[in-house]
Amino acid sequence: MPRVVVFDEFGGPDVMHVVEEPVVEPAVGEVRVRIEAFAVNPLDQMMRSGALPAAVGLPHARLGVEGTGVVDALGPEVTGLDIGDPVILTAIPDASARGSYAEYTTLPASQVVARPAELGITEAAAIWVAYSTAYGALVEKAGMRPGDQVLITAASGGVGRAAIQIANQIGAVPIALTRHTARRDELLAAGAAAVVATDRTDVVEAVRHHTGGTGADIVLDVVMGPGQQDLLKAARPGGTLVAAGFLDPRPAPFPTGTPLTIFSYRSFEHTLDAVVVRRMAAFLNAGVRLGALRPAIDRVFALDDIVEAHRHLEKGLHAGKKIVVTVQA
* CATH number of 215's domain: 3.40.50.720
Query: Could you tell me which of 173, 161, 64, 131 has the C-alpha nearest to residue 283?
Result: 131
Q: Are residues 194 and 250 in the same domain?
A: yes
d(CA 324, CA 163): 20
Mean pLDDT over residues 182-207, rounded?
93
Q: What is the pLDDT of residues 44-73, one digit of tens each?
A: 999 999 988 788 989 999 999 999 999 999
Q: Same structural domain for residues 308 and 220?
A: no
Q: Is residue 22 part of a domain?
A: yes
Of residues 246 and 104, more confidently modeled: 104
225 phi, psi to nearest 5 deg: 75, -175
d(CA 161, CA 293): 10
| Number of neighbours of residue 38 by Cβ within 10 angstroms | 32
Q: Assess if residue 283 is contained within a domain.
A: no
Same domain, 176 and 259: yes
Radius of gyration (C-alpha) of the chain in whole angstroms: 20
Residue 123 lies in a domain: no
Range of the domain at 133: 128-268
One domain for residues 262 and 296: no
Q: Is the pLDDT of residue 307 over 80?
A: yes
Mean pLDDT, to the nearest integer, of 219-227?
87
**Residue 231 falls inside a structural domain:** yes
Summarize the confidence of residues 152-157 as an average pLDDT.
92
Clarify whether residues 77 and 163 are in a common domain: no
Same domain? For 36 and 76 the reply is yes
Residue 98 lies in a domain: yes
| Predicted local distance difference test score (pLDDT) of residue 250 | 78
User: What is the total count of domains within the chain?
Assistant: 2
CB atoms within 10 A of CB 174: 28
CATH number of the structural domain spanning residue 20: 3.90.180.10
Taking residue 316's Cβ as centre, other Cβ atoms within 10 Å add up to 8
- Pick the last residue of a domain from 268, 300, 317: 268
Instruction: Evaluate whether residue 206 is within a structural domain.
Output: yes
Q: Which of 33-37, 141-145, 197-201, 318-322 has the weakest average pLDDT?
A: 318-322
- CA distance linking residue 329 with residue 327, whole number of Å: 6
- pLDDT, mean over the chain: 92
Residue 311 in any domain: the answer is yes
- Considering the domain architecture, whether residues 132 and 264 belong to the same structural domain is answered as yes
182/104 same-domain check: no
By the 10 Å C-beta count (0-12 exposed, 13-18 middle, 19+ buried), 246 is classed as: middle
122: left (phi over 0), alpha (psi -120 to 50) or beta: alpha
Q: Is the domain of 256 the same as that of 133?
A: yes
Give the pLDDT score at 15. 97
On whether both 132 and 202 belong to a single domain, the answer is yes
Band the pLDDT of 270: cuts 50, 70, 90: confident
What length is written for the chain?
329
Q: Is 276 inside any structural domain?
A: no
**Pairing label, strands 194-197, 173-178:** parallel
DSSP character string of 249-274: -S--PPP-S-SSEEEE--THHHHT-H
What pLDDT does 256 receive? Answer: 72
Query: Is 214 in the same domain as 306?
Result: no
3-state helix, strand, coil in the chain (%, to 5): 35, 25, 40
